[in-house]
Structure 1
Amino acid sequence: MLRLVSPFALTLIGAILFGDGAYIHAKAWLAQVLLERAFQTSIATGHPVKPWSWADTWPIARIEVKRIGASAIVLAGTSGQALAFGPGHIDQTVDAGERGVAVYAAHRDTHFRFLRNVSIGDEIEITRSDGRHFSYRADASAVVHFDASGIDPATRGFELVLATCWPFDAVTSGPERYVLHATLLGTGG
């Protein structure tokens, strides 16, 4: 009897763990579909649109790295709830396309998983919810301690920073962050 219970118990535990991991990725994918719909409506109406009625955030931009086929909707703020559904815009930073540094942060295992494939020189495109489009060029990356990012909020340039936890394949959180820096190339309207 014990020989039958052990394989069944191990199979059940494995299925639960697999299901839990699959749920996180399914939630992230579905959220991006709903966020894309809200983002398009925001552009069309000129007003922020929540992706679902109980959301504590709304889409403010789309980030794309076409060379690798990556795209994600960026949300207002970086609360734990917002980051569960997409990259967040750090409140104390400027909007993309404005003088200063716009900072977007996301989880390394979902929405910013693609950062591992972004190379220096890649073009990063940002479309804001007001319909304005900006192109940035990735020009530097670094692994930093979470409280020593080197990001200068008082910069006089037009900059973008994408930040996530490091290392990409870690299973637990740690003190290091991966920071990708980019400089504005131009606007597309």
Structure 2
Amino acid sequence: MIIVGIALLGYSGIQMWSSNEQQQAALLKAEQRIMDQAKSEGPVVFDPKIGEEIGVLSLPKLDSTLPIIEGVDESELSRGVGHYYGTSFPDDKGQIVLSGHRDTVFRRIGELEIGDELVVNMPYGNFTYIIEETEIVEAGDTTVIRPEQDEELLTVTTCYPFRYVGDAPDRYIIYAKPKS
């Protein structure tokens, strides 16, 4: 039993280390993409492909900076915060949906409160959002994704409860609107 316990702890430690390394590499690529665009003098061409590092999500209250990856499959979520393909991007006047794992990138997301800021840095600009509402829904509830929305809304999702072991039964949703 002790050997099995040590093996499980070792495996978990390696998984956490690997995930952190992947996130750091993705963050460097996303920051480089933003800097490269800032230096360029031509028009911004923004047409991301699944798996690409497309931006950076900053959570100032948590002193956290996270890469945003296009797509929400496991391969993208293991590297950062996933942008739900088919939803809007900042400044598109629609719903932007970002998702991440509660035990990696969003480990401390439960500490955020109404009125806190979320900052999205993209190759074409920086966008600040203010948290206006949170809710908890069942895991299968897809009604929180409303791409046909006609006003800009940042929706951030993660599994809930935060300290649940295994597949969590619910989702924690944050709704934030652009800072005026």
TM-score > 0.5 by shorter chain: yes
Which of 7, 12, 17 is residue 16 of structure 1 equivalent to? 7
Q: What is the identity, as a one-letter code, of the residue corresponding to 1:170?
A: Y
Larger radius of gyration: 1
> C-alpha displacement at 1:148, in angstroms?
4.3
Whether contact under 8 Å (1:166, 1:174) holds in the other structure is yes
Aligned counterpart in structure 1 of residue 97 of structure 2, from 100, 103, 111: 103
Instruction: Provide the TM-score with structure 1 as the length reference.
Output: 0.82
1:144 aligns with 2:142: no
The answer for the alignment partner of 1:61 in structure 2 is 55
Corresponding residue SS for 2:179: strand
Report the count of equivalent residues: 169
- Letter of the aligned partner of 1:73 in structure 2? P
Structure 1 portions without partners, runs of 5+: 1-9, 49-55
Equivalent residues in 2 for 1:1-189, closer than 5 Å? 10-46=1-37, 57-128=51-122, 130-145=123-138, 146-186=140-180
Of the structure 1 ranges 18-27 and 104-113, higher mean CA displacement relative to structure 2 is found in 18-27
CA change 1:60–1:177 in 2 (3 A) is same
TM-score (norm 2): 0.86
User: What is the alpha-carbon distance in structure 2 between the residues aligned to residue 97 and residue 13 of structure 1?
Assistant: 51
The Cα of 1:76 is off from its aligned counterpart by: 0.7
Q: CA deviation at 1:131?
A: 4.4
* Contact 2:67/2:79, CA 8 A, preserved across alignment: no
What's the Cα RMSD here? 1.8
Q: How far 1:86 moved relative to its partner?
A: 1.2
Moved over 6 A (4+): none
Give the Cα separation in 1 of the matches to 2:59 and 2:129.
10
Specify whether residues 123 and 167 from structure 1 end up closer, same or farther in structure 2 by C-alpha distance, changes over 3 A only.
same
Query: What are the ranges of 5 or more consecutive residues in structure 2 without an aligned counterpart?
Result: 38-44
User: Match for residue 5 of structure 1?
Assistant: none
TM-superposition CA deviations, 1:16-36 (whole Å, max 9, x none): 111122122212211122112
